[in-house]
Structure 1
Amino acid sequence: HALLIAPTGSGKTEAALLWAARQRPARLFYTLPYQASMNAMYGRLSRLFDTERVGLLHGRSTLALYRFLMAQEYTPDAATATARALRNKAGLAYYPVRVFSPYQMLKAAFQLKGYEALLADFTRAAFVFDEIHAYEPHRLAMILETVGYLVRHYEACFLFMSATFPRPIRERLQHLLGTEALIRADAALYRHFRRHRLHLAEGDLAAPEGLRRIREAIAAGQQVLVVVNTVRKAQELWAVLHPWAEEQGIEAHLLHSRFTGQDRLSKEQAILDAAGLNQTERRPLLVVATQVVEVSLNLDLDVLFTDPAPLEALLQRFGRVNRLGKRPPADVFVFQEMDDGTRRVYRPAVQVERTLEVLREAPAGLVVDEARIQDWLDAVYTGEVLTAWEEAYEQSAAEFRHNFFADLLPFRGNPALADQFHRLFDGVEVLPEGLMGTWEALRAEQPIAADALLVPIRWYQYQHLLARGLVLPPDKSADLPPVVRVPYDGEKGMSLWEDDAY
């Protein structure tokens, strides 16, 4: 087992594969937090190992595979059949290398149907975990308890890697894995990765002064990334900035979690085409996004304007600009006003407040030394922040050990736990009412393309829509997904109720 700390864009993936090769495992599971990053890693590993050795497994992997195949000039029928076959094989012990989310691993603990086969598949396997900090304490506790269980009982081997490891996470990983092994990038590499110049800005990003700065950066010919903490705020900001960008003839994109699968994948590819690594021609660009951009896409824009967030999230946002460090340090502007949406998304909000306190201690215009970031993190995770984090983590870990692993027996599933799993991790995919006609036209001949019209929302959001009478009564004879009476726009995405803060 080992922990690896190195800057974003410094070659952690290659190092992880070298580590895995030395373990000579029965299977390799590459574990990532977001579907976009899983799709990108699947493409990368497929080119390295070929598609017969690499599987992709997440909630929308069939759609992602379908898109990969359509790009290779498959017919829709052939792409549908092949994508389903590939997805089914990824769920079996077929591929020696698989890219998946940790929630696929948790299916064993939640005793979903066939979990015994999952545990057999995990035996003596190697797991690479990327960006473990992306999970809040409650879910992180469940993931790490499962890791410990696989280490103790199934001889699984783990590499955890990240640009940052908050001290409480690092200590728990070392305890669970029974190792002090910590691989850290050397000083010479960190000197090369001084890529960002930090500015703390007063007020709210969406206030007139913030909008003026964003427009000035775009007008100066820069590729501008704007990251906010809620979908609603991203949509509101887009409504202000997009018409202006359009008048100027400047390419602009909006990215968040409430697009259909079809639109989300198209937008991600368009952003990668415009602002990916090693661009031959840089042209002015605006990207407005939520947290989905933090670890999902290998982007290399010029300047960042961001809402306040926990330090780990801010560092990931920084990593989307001047990613390779080939240009002079890029300006990153962190706005300090904490709106209600930020306080709801990041709970307890004291973690964001403490992050801002630590950053205020830095000189204005500081070029960030990534070798010192761990000191910043350790300064954030003290006092009230550390106490709140540890209480949430330890409570969840204790409940998980008692309710799951103490009662794990073969050939005895638990439907109640399965339902709990789907509420916690799967959410609900809904069909906006305005897309019903298109969905019905596609479902017979191109069912995967029809499913690409669904929009993922959280379980509680679905319950709110039900309570407000915004979900059509189910028609079992029509075999429809849940249909919701809310607006959907291919540019803006799906809007929920007017006072939705997320």
Structure 2
Amino acid sequence: MRTGIRLLSGGLVVSVEHSDGQLNLQLGALWGKSAGKAGGRPNLLISHLLDTAAVAEHIWDHYLAPRTRSWLDRVAGGVGRGRGFFSWLCGMHDCGKATPAFQSMDDAGAAAVRRAGLGWSPRMLEKGRWRHDRAGGRLVREVLATAGWDGEQIEWVWPLIAGHHGLFPPLAGLRPPKAGLGHHQGKDQQWARVQDALVQIFTEELGFDAPSAVEPHRVPTRAQQLHLSGLIVMADWIASNEQHFKGINDLPSISLARARDRASAAWSALGLRGGWGMRPVPEPTFFQDRFDEPPRESQMLVMQVARQMPQPGLMIVEAPMGEGKTKAALGAAEIVGARFGADGVFVGMPTQATADPMFTQVRKWVERIEPGLGAEVALLHGKRRFNKEWQSLLEDAGQTPDDLYGTIEEDVQYGMGPVELCDEPERRAPAEWFLGAKRGLLTPFVVGTIDQLLFAATRTKHVMLRVAGLTGKVVVLDEVHAADVYMSQFLAEGLWWLGQARTPVVLLSATLPPGQRQTLVKAYLAGAASREDVPDVAIPEPQGYPNVTAAWHGEPEPKVLVRSTSSWRADLAVGIEVLAETEQATTAQGRGESPGTAAVAELLDTRLREGGCALVIRNTVDRAQETYQALRRRFGQDVRLLHGRLHAAHRAGRTEQALDLLGPRAGGAGDRPRPRLILVATQLAEQSFDVDVDLLITDLAPVDLLLQRIGRLHRHAQVPRPAPIRAPRVVITGFAPVERQEPSFIVGSEAIYGRYLLLRTAALLETQPTKWSIPSQVPELVARVYGDDVGWIPQTWRSAERKAYARWAKVQQQRAENAQPFLLSRFGEHERPTLAGVHIGASKEGLGDEKFQALVRDGEPSIEAILVRHDGARFSTLQGRRIAVTGEEPPPELLDELLGATVRLPSSLTRSAEQELSLLDGWRDHPWLRHSRALIIPESGIATVGEAQVSYDESLGLVVRRNRTR
């Protein structure tokens, strides 16, 4: 049906032959936002569609990466066509609201629609529910088929409409309830006519003659479709902000011009923007300007490869600890970003603790690229509120972003009143809109944990927002070797989608097993080829260290480039020594210390007789606490403790102290602790922990992690060291060699790492020389332990090694299979052309940080709690300041004390903590406390969680004593 349009006073008036003005009345009644969600007055449906289209224009002009605009132009049919197509597609998202199923949901709106002559049977509508997003998918299929669109184009477009509330249904999911006998969609011709007119009017207002003129020329890849879907959601959420898009219920007052004015004002007020935009490829001298130092040879190699790659691809950078991989990656990101039109960067770190210093580094880097960009960097992890730099950026931000700019769930509830905005503060951080739930990755520059990328590979609600936040950027992931087999399933899935999107990716590792390198390259190339699995491609083994492996899609086959160079510093000949931990070891009776701990204490007494700094790494917190107590008795104030069960303030403070005393900021030799310092730590000191020690004592761990720990040993050059520890030496304990048979391992280590890799690492210690050349020997050592060869294993161990391997392989296979139900695409689905049915079997609810972490890290979610004291009459902070649990919110200094007392409980206590710990009454409405359980410590100092006794010691941290009588 062809609908004529007349513009009067800048607004829409519809003229249709034989309509007698009835269509005007009907279009002027269809509502898109109820009065309760549009500032007190309904917003007509055509108004909301135009608002969203106008917002999309701003997203195109001021946010999209150049490469995204480029492929959208190609999809739409040529340069300059993408913008209009993108705007039309975003605006069309809510066309499914032109149905009785939706129009009946608000009483006032429904009454106006019925007065205009559009009716339905309430009794029939009660026979099932039909969401407007799915209704929109069905309506779009019908309208576009009538318009003559090619079926292939229709099939990829309708899921974007049907999935704009976060879940992509299958085609069968578009059907209205059968029992409704057609009433949900509109049974009479009045509904069909107004639905056609709505689409036609909207289309013509955007400058197209008819829907047929909008038809795209290409089918984008699924990754591009997912990216586009996220942008549609972004446009909808912005255009649904009632403060900036108040209702308009007068049809002649509606026009695209007015919508553009509203969108422009909203965009400016929200402070939204993109990243660095289209920039020239930086000059060869730029590294010095960014980092105040000339590039090392390995860093030059990384940037050289970034300049040579003919198209976006994957780079894997393997280099020793302390080589400067991160700066090399940022330099490469700037190069490939300029070459291929990426508009920002995501830097994923292995832990929250390692993300915090990277946040500072990335802010400094982008600020030097362009003044002001430092304010566009977001820190994205569950503990960012404890980061002082992040806090200082947001100290004037007022309410939380989700209070101001929530998600849009019209089919769930209506009639909620407007949210009052606080006064707009001076913005020193990314726009608050970006900081809400599920939107963080949309920020132009993001530093977070690798979990953020893993989340983007899950079949969860609104995953399209996460993908959209990654695919326009350069993605940098550090310490990728730290991903275990379960996490690696999500990492490989994420790389597949990034490969299909042709997103530049830089992966960093110091100790990457060869098999893992092959898996990562093949995952990316499979995505780039839009294949379930990549065709056989030769991926050469690097011949040197540091090295770069680059891969990209090529015709007729993928291309792989491998380059190597030498490290910036000479090898260290690290002495390898085993301190057997057996029950026969000497111990000091009556001191409550284990034989192994006593042996460590005696060794330190000997080696540090002339002073020096030592690091003792234990594999469990309990073991670290016991070691600290024993060493403290012997060495007094020279001993420090760092582990993951310290509350947030203690952990941050002690980490800062360790870096001040042993890190690069310590300055000259005169600043080193005297006469000695002994730091007892857990795996927190394993990676991205820039300290230098004279002596390392560590529990046995798989060889790659062992080498990471060795990276803390004699890390900085030109540091004078006492004679007994002048040569670098690592002492490895936590296991007991047994003559002519395999060793025994402490229970905690085997529980964490499994017997197989510990056994092969122990065999390496048995068979290798007593000195390792670090870093040049690192790839060889890792390859030996992670390889298949058993010929080098001691003959008497081989049977035990094969049994351990069989158990390990079974567990690995099971853990990999455990991940499959949660991956974004199931095995066998990667070659599908559209997003239809992606979310079959997915969770329909959002997941909090704790559950998300468990989803991608294969474990029961651990629980954080705020430690609070209770004397029987009142609550107080750990420092003794009284807490008012009702009434006004706590002052900032008290809030800092409360948040600083956050501690993570052992995962073994998770279920009990979920059942027994809750919020204090006064926290329920506080934006930073409302998700925080309280662990109440009574006057005795000992709380009970499940069957465990829990206390907090200022020196030891959280102490957990389990009831072992059962």
The alignment's TM-score, normalised by the length of structure 1, stands at: 0.85
Distance 1:242 1:313 in 2: 27
**C-alpha distance in 1 between matches for 2:661 and 2:375:** 30
What value does the CA root-mean-square deviation take over the aligned residues?
A: 3.4
Paired with 1:206 and 1:67, the residues of 2 have a C-alpha distance of 41
CA gap of 1:35–1:417, structure 2 versus 1, over 3 A, is closer
Given that residues 52 and 95 in structure 1 are in contact (C-alpha distance below 8 angstroms), is that contact kept between their aligned partners in structure 2? no
Change over 3 Å in CA distance of 1:223–1:403 after alignment to 2:
closer
**8 Å Cα contact 1:187-1:371 kept in structure 2:** no
For residues 219-251 of structure 1, give each alpha carbon's deviation from its aligned partner in whole angstroms, at most 9, with x where no partner exists: 4211110000000011111111123322xx53x
Distance across 2 between alignment mates of 1:145 and 1:357: 34
Residue ranges of structure 2 left out of the alignment (5+ in a row): 1-313, 368-373, 401-424, 526-536, 547-563, 583-594, 720-725, 737-744, 789-801, 826-836, 925-931, 937-942, 944-949
Q: Is the 8 A contact 2:442 2:465 kept in 1?
A: no
Alignment length (residue pairs):
487
Change (3 A) 1:225 1:422: closer
Contact map agreement 1:423 1:459 (CA 8 A) in 2: no
Task: State the 1:396 CA deviation.
Answer: 4.3
Q: Corresponding residue for 2:667?
A: 279
| SS of equivalent to 1:7 | coil
Which digits, 9 at most, give the CA deviation of each residue in 1:78-116, with x for residues without a partner? 999989978874553564321111212233344555432
1:31 maps to what in 2? 348
Following the alignment from structure 1 to structure 2, what is the Cα–Cα distance between the partners of residues 161 and 473? 40
Q: Which of 887, 892, 903 is the matching residue for 1:455?
A: 903
> Who is 1:270 aligned against?
657
Hey, what does 2:181 align to over in structure 1?
none
Give the secondary structure class of the aligned counterpart of 2:876: helix
Greater share of residues in helix: 1
The alpha carbon displacement at 1:133 in A equals 1.5
Moved more, 14-23 or 141-150: 141-150
The question of 1:428 aligning with 2:863 is answered yes
Contact 1:199 1:331 survives alignment (8 Å): yes
Structure 2 vs 1, CA of residues 52 and 85 (structure 1 numbering), >3 Å: closer, same or farther? Answer: closer
- Aligned residue for 1:290? 682
Contact kept in structure 1, 2:376 and 2:430, CA below 8 Å: no
Indicate the residue corresponding to 1:483 in structure 2: 935
Q: 1:355 to 1:422 in 2, by over 3 A?
A: closer
Residues 1:139 and 2:578 aligned together: no
Q: 1:341 is matched with which residue?
A: 748
Q: Which whole-Å deviations, capped at 9, do the CAs of 1:348-375 have from their partners, x for residues lacking one?
A: 22211210111221223x1434222222
1:129 and 2:472 are equivalent in the alignment: no
The within-5 A match list for 1:94-493 is 95-110=443-458, 114-152=462-500, 154-178=501-525, 180=539, 184-185=545-546, 188-189=566-567, 192-194=570-572, 196-203=574-581, 206-246=596-636, 250=638, 252-277=639-664, 279-280=667-668, 281-283=671-673, 284-326=676-718, 329-335=727-733, 336-337=735-736, 338-346=745-753, 348-364=754-770, 366-383=771-788, 384=802, 391-406=810-825, 408-409=838-839, 414-415=844-845, 420-424=851-855, 427-434=862-869, 437-438=876-877, 441=883, 444-446=890-892, 447-464=895-912, 471-472=916-917, 479=924, 481-483=933-935, 485=943, 486-493=950-957
Larger Rg: 2
Three-state SS of the structure 2 residue aligned to 1:427 is: coil
Q: Is the 8 A contact 2:864 2:905 kept in 1?
A: yes
Q: Distance in 2 between matches of 1:458 and 1:116?
A: 33
Taking a change above 3 Å as real, the CA distance of residues 75 and 118 of structure 1, as seen in their structure-2 partners, is: closer
Q: Is the Cα contact below 8 Å between 1:195 and 1:322 reproduced in 2?
A: no
Q: What is the alpha-carbon distance in structure 1 between the residues aligned to residue 682 and residue 441 of structure 2?
A: 35
Alpha-carbon distance change, 355 to 111 in structure 1, aligned in 2, over 3 angstroms: same
More divergent stretch after superposition (21-30 vs 76-85): 76-85
Cα separation, 2, equivalents of 1:416 and 1:92: 15
Give me the whole-angstrom Cα distance separating, in 2, the residues matched to 1:339 and 1:276: 31
TM-score, normalization by structure 2: 0.46
- Taking only the aligned residue pairs, the percentage that are identical comes to 22
Contact 2:347 2:446 (8 Å CA) reproduced: yes
Contact 1:329 1:367 in 2 (8 A): no
Higher relative contact order, structure no. (Cα contacts within 8 Å, ≥ 6 residues apart):
1
Q: 1:149, 1:444 → 2: CA distance?
A: 45
For residue 628 of structure 2, give the secondary structure of its aligned residue in structure 1.
helix
Mapped partners of 1:78, 1:296: distance in 2:
33
